[in-house]
Structure formats: structure tokens, C-alpha cells
Structure 1
Amino acid sequence: MEDSKVKIILEAAKKRFAHYGLAKTAMNEIANDIGMSKASLYYYFKDKDQIFIAVVEQDINEFVKVIEEVVERPSKASFKLKKYITLKNNLLIKLINLAKVETFNAADVFNPVYDELKFNFFTKEKVLIQKIFGQGIEQKEFNKFPVEQYAELFLTVTGGLRTIALATPGVAQTQERVNEQTALFLDIFLKSIRP
């Protein structure tokens, strides 16, 4: 029963976030959408940020599942990295649309409310990237290198490029800039690790 209530809350919240954005969505509106009192909603989530985190976690878990499937497929590691970059960029745009973010806001990106979510996601991504690197080394597609350090560097640089791209006004321009910048970095990165 609890799980089904949470699912209903998250579905309603996701629709409201997608239509109005995080800033313009209120707890009482989410509660009204599902015929629940605001007090009852607070029983499940302490505030709007916690609901937003739960909605984002669903998208992140879906992304991780898809990347895990990509990692397990028999294909070149470089293809897997390109697929990762494409899917991660698409996730970023999906989350920007969900929050209705138009431009970079340091307060949103560095808000400590999201620290645990960001850390957990980074940790999952790092494991997946290390696995791809390991496969590339094993298949002699890549030279040997310390995969953990390179995975952290890879994620930090691509994450930084995405964050900087958020400074570009408008979602369409952001997506284009993110795709260009990360594709360029991936090309340079792959040249540096190939025999």
C-alpha cells in the first residue's frame, strides 16, 4: 500500500514538475492532483525537494539500467563510451526540462540537498565507466591505464562540460552545446588511450 501511494505521488509530481517546473510547483498542488491532503503528503515526503529527488532517482535508475545493458553487450568499448555520452546528455536535457531550468544557477547545482543523490549517481557511473575501460583494455582496443583514476577524470570533465553548457540560454542551445563539447572531448580522450 505504501509503495503504491508513493508511486501515485511521484507520477503526479513528475507531471506537475514537467508542466510547471520545480520552482512553480507547490506541495498542496501535488496533494490536490491526487486527492490527498497536504498533511498526508508530508507523511511520505518532508518537502518538495525530497519529492523531486525521488522523481529524479527514477530517471537515474532507468539510465543506469540502460547503461548496464550497453556494457554487457558484445561491442567495442569506444562505442559503449559514445553511447554513454549520448544517453547521459539526453538524461541531462530530460532533467532540465523536468525542472524547467532555463539557465545555469549555481545555487541549484551546488544545493546540499542534492549532494547524496549526486554522490550516489557519480559512484554508479564510475563503476560502469571503469568496466567499459577494463573491457577496452582486455580487448586491446585501449592501452593499459589506471581505470579508476581515468574513470573519475572522464566523469569529472564530461560533468564539467555539461555544467558549463547550462550557462547557454535556452534548452535547444544547451543540448547542441552539450553534444558538441562532449563529442569533442570523447574524440580527444579516445585518441589518448588507443594504441
Structure 2
Amino acid sequence: MIQLSKKQLAARMGLSRDQFNNAIKLFDQQLWCWGEDVKRPNGNLLVACGFERIPPPKGQEQFGSMYSRRIRRGGRIVLRGWGLLISDRKHGAILLKRYGFTPELLSGEEIPTQLWDTSDLPKLISPQSDVDVSRVLFLLSAACRWVVSYETWLRLRIGMKHRETSIEHWKKMKKTNFSCDEVDRLWRLLAKRLEEAAIRLEKSVLARAA
């Protein structure tokens, strides 16, 4: 199956090339921040937010814990160090891997309950048809909206200092970063653009089928 180029994928997402590249960096930073939330001395913030911490089975401790939470529309979100998975009843499930912003559909409708390494994933499908791309964009938009809600919850619960410190540590390693205000603005922008692109595609599919 032919893979879409970054330029083609960005266009189908309704993003400019710069916005697409920023999304890759933003997601990488966000995964780092979630790791800092887990290690917080005063308590694991993912657990406080409602995630179930699922420790790895004996002999696979190197993979670390899996964090899973139920979300709207009968869906689920799973966080791993190497990516994010999100599902709902209507659109299925996707994986968004770290170091990229190229979501793939899972061949099954549900996210596996035991997911320690990428080798535990079911078959992944690169979306090509307008129907599949629309499904992916709706799920990716939902993931972005969820990140916004999580970061808002975090600020209301413990204030800004923890996140600002996490981002400062990230900046020392990567030499670049997005501030707390930029994080909120960029995730909101991504959610809006992705949902708009998904709706356009869905309308196009329905019009052709009429």
C-alpha cells in the first residue's frame, strides 16, 4: 500500500507543513510531560486524573506500566512511552506513535488490554480512503481535545509550577520547547483543524454516495 508523504498527510489533516512539524514536536514534549506527571513526588497525576495503572507482567518490567482510561462515546485512551492510543464505538481505534504525527488504524475495533511493547499491537492500517482518513481525523481530534482537558484539569488541581518545571527540563534536553500557553493554544488549534478536515471528508463521502 502506498504511503502518503508528510506533505500529502498534512494537507489531508488541514495543516500547513509548519503546523504538521510543530505537531510532531508538541506530541513528543507532551509524552515527556506525562512521564513527569507519573514520577511526581507528591503523587501520580495520571492516576489522580482517573487512569488505571496496569503494571507489566513478571519478567517484562522493562516495559513499564500501561495507563488506561475510559472516555466519552464508549471509548478508551491508553498512554505508553512510545505513543498514544484512542478509540470510540463509531470510528474504531488508532495509534499515534511518538516522533511522528502519522496515526494508523488498528485492525480491531478495540485497544488490546495487554499492551507492553509495539510487538503486542494488532495489525496497523495506514489510512488511504477518504472514509478511513475521516475516521482517523475524528479520533485524532478527540485525542487533541482530551489533551486540552487534561492540561486544564492539571492546572486547576496543582497550579502551573509543576508543568512549567517539566517543560524547562525538556528544554534543557531538546533545546526547544513550547510554553504552557503555547501548549494549550496548539492543541486547541490541532483539534479544530483536524475536526474540520474530518467533517469535510465525511460530507464528501456522503455526497458521492447519494
For normalisation by structure 2, the TM-score amounts to 0.26
Greater per-residue helix proportion:
1
Bigger RCO of structures 1 and 2 (CA < 8 A, at least 6 apart): 1
Structure of higher CA gyration radius: 1
Greater per-residue strand proportion:
2
For normalisation by structure 1, the TM-score amounts to 0.28
